[in-house]
Amino acid sequence: MKNQENILLNIKDLHVWYRVYGGYLKVLNGVHLMVREGERVGLVGEAGCGKTTTMKSILQILPPGDFHIPQGQIFYKGQDVLKMSFKELQRLRSREIAMIFQDPTAALNPVFIIGTQIGDVIKYSAAFEENEHKETIKEQSIKALKEVYLPDPERMLINYPLQLSGGMKQRVCIAMAISSPRNLLIADEPGTSLDVTIQDQIMRLLNEIVEKRKTSIILITHSLGVAKEMTDRIYVMYAGTIVETATPEVLFKNPVHPYTKGLLASVPKISGGGITKGIPGKLPSYLNPPSGCRFQLRCEQGDPICSEKPPQLFEVEKDHLVACYLTQR
C-alpha cells in the first residue's frame, strides 16, 4: 500500500522565527518531515511545540507580519514551496493541499453564510481544473456537504456559522477541504475543541475520507491512541524539532527518545494504575532556547554533549529515526 519512492512532501531543516519584544521567538528549529503518496502521517507533541506553525508554513499561510524563515526547504512534489510563484502557490492551495483547522469556530468567517464560503472555494479552485465540471457550484457544494454527512445540506448553505454546532462547523470545514480533489490533507487536531463523542465521529469521518479517496494526510493530534489507530507513521515533535519518528508499532513497542518515553508514560490507562508519571518541567523559552538539545533541561539522562549542539536525526533501526545523543553511543 505504501509507495516508498513517491515522496509527496519533504520538509528539510525548517526554521521559523517570530519577531517579538527582545528579539525572535525561535519556534521551529530544524523540522524534518516526509510524507509519501497515500501515507497517513501522525504528528504528536505537547501544546506550543510548533506543530501548527509547521503546517501553516507548508501552505504559506502564517499570519502576515513578523515571522521569518531563516533557513529550510519545503518540497512538494519536488518543488520548493518557499520559492513558488504566486500562481503556483495558488494552485498548490486550490488543488493539492488543504488544511483543516483545530477550532472550526475560528476557521469559518462569521459574517458570511456557509454557501458563500464553500462556493468560493469551489469556484476559485475550478480555475485550475483541466476538465470542466457539469455541475453548478451549488450542486458541488451540496455534494461536498453530503459527503461529510451533514443533514439537510440545502438549508445548511444559507446558515451562518454561528447557527451551527461545533461538530457541524468542523464538518463544514472538512467539506470545504475536500470540495475539490486534494492529494494531501492536513488535519490540525480536528475536534480538540469539541466534545469527546463528536471528536470521535470527526475522526471516523476523516478516516473514511482518507480511505475512500486514497489521499495522504498529516494528522496532528494530542491523542497517541488516535495516532496509533489512524496513521502509518508517527513523528514526535518537541519544542520545534522532530525528536523521533517510526511506525506506530515500533514506536509504541520500542520508544527511544526520553521525551517519547515520557509522552507514552503520561497516557492514563483506562484499566487503572493511578496518576501517570508524566514529564516534569515545561517547554523551554523560545526567546533564549538552550543551545544544543532542547529537551536537555527536562531529560533525566543529561550528558555534557547535549548542551553543545542540537542532535541530528539518526537511524537506530530501519525506518526508526531518533534525535538524541544517548542513542548514538
Partner 1 sequence: MINSNLPNNSIAISLVRPKSIFWLNLGKNWYRFSRNTLSIVGLVIVAGIIISAIFAPWITPYPEHAGPFVDFDNTGQPPSLQHLCGTDNMGRDIFSRIIFAFRGALIMAVVVLAIAVPPGALLGLTAGYFQNTWIDAVIMRITDIFLSVPPLILALAIAAMLKPTLMNAMIAVTVMWWPWYTRLVYGMASSVSNEYFVIAADLTGASKFHILFREILPNCLSPVFTKMALDVGWVILIGASLSFVGLGEQPPTPALGQMVSDGSRYMPTFWWMTIFPALAIVLAILGFNLLGDGLRDMFEKRVE
Partner 2 sequence: MKFGSFLLKRLLLSIFVIFGLSIVIFIIARVVPGDPARMALGPRAPEEVVQRLRQEMHLDKPLPEQYFYWIRGVLSGDFGRSLVTKRAVSEDIKEFLPATMELAIFAGILMAIFAVLLGTLAARYKDTWVDSLIRTLSYFGVAIPAFVAAIIFMLLFGYYWPILPVLSRLSPGIIPPVRITGLLTLDSLIQGNFVAFWDAFKHLILPSVALSLGGLFQEARITRSAMIENIRKDFLSAERGYGIPERVIMFKYLLKPSLIPTVSMMGLDFASLFANAFLVETIFNWPGISRYGISAMMHKDLSVISAVIIVFGAIFVVANIIVDIIVAFLDPRVRLSTSRGI
Q: Compute the radius of gyration of the chain from its Cα atoms.
A: 20
Q: By CB under 8 A, tell whether 101 contacts partner 2.
A: yes
- The stretch near partner 2 (CB under 8 A) out of 71-79, 114-122, 202-210, 235-243 is 114-122
CB closer to partner 1 out of 48 and 302: 48
Give the long-range contacts of residues 201-209, CB within 8 A, separation 24 or more.
Answer: 201/167, 202/167, 202/170, 202/171, 202/174, 203/230, 205/148, 205/149, 205/171, 205/174, 206/100, 206/174, 206/230, 209/147, 209/148, 209/174, 209/178, 209/185
Q: Which of 163, 254, 285, 301 binds partner 2 (CB under 8 A)?
A: 163
Q: Per-residue b/e over 132-161, b at no fewer than 16 CB within 10 Å?
A: eeeeebeebbbebbebbebeebeebbeeeb
Judged by CB under 8 A, the residue of 91, 138, 228, 261 near partner 2 is: 91
What is the smallest separation between the CB atom of 42 and partner 1, expressed in angstroms? 22
From partner 1, partner 2, none, interface partner of 26 (C-beta below 5 to 8 A by class): none
Q: Nearer to partner 1 by C-beta: 19 or 212? A: 19
44/283 with CB nearer partner 1: 283
Sequence-ordered strand ranges (E) for the chain: 7-20, 23-36, 40-44, 67-68, 73-76, 79-80, 97-100, 184-188, 216-221, 233-238, 241-246, 314-317, 320-322
Binding-site partner at residue 283 among partner 1, partner 2, none, CB < 5 to 8 Å by type: partner 1
Place of cell 493511578: 274
245-304: which residues touch partner 1 (CB under 8 A)?
Answer: 282-283, 285-287
Residue 101 interacting with partner 1 (CB under 8 A) = no
Interface with partner 1 includes 47 (CB under 8 A)?
yes
- 68 near partner 1, rule: CB under 8 A: no
Contact positions vs partner 1 (CB under 8 A): 18-22, 25, 47-48, 65-66, 282-283, 285-287
Contact positions vs partner 2 (CB under 8 A): 56, 59, 61-65, 90-95, 98-99, 101, 103, 106-112, 117, 120-121, 124-125, 128, 160, 162-163, 173, 176-177
